[in-house]
Amino acid sequence: MTPFGLYLESLRRSRQLQQIQLADYLGVNACYVSAMENGKKGPPSKQVLSKLIDSL
């Protein structure tokens, strides 16, 4: 995991959201959220990052 992935997972869990719920808010697939948390995807696009900020 990357520092970003750990932080994202921590924020998501602190708000009691499942990956699929966060994915719905972001308009992405749950696999993408998992990949971000596990460091398998690079930084999210500005659009996804903006939605992350609004969601969390």
| Model confidence, pTM | 0.84
pLDDT given for residue 1 in this prediction: 83
Confidence of residue 14 (pLDDT cuts 50, 70, 90): very high
User: How far is C-alpha 14 from the geometric centre of its chain's CA atoms?
Assistant: 13
Q: Is residue 9 pLDDT above 90, yes or no? A: yes
**Residue 32: pLDDT band with limits 50, 70, 90:** very high
- Per-residue confidence (pLDDT) for residue 25, from 0 to 100: 94
For 3-55, give the CATH class: mainly alpha
First-last CA distance in the chain: 20
Give the domain ranges of the chain: 3-55
Band the pLDDT of 55: cuts 50, 70, 90. Answer: confident
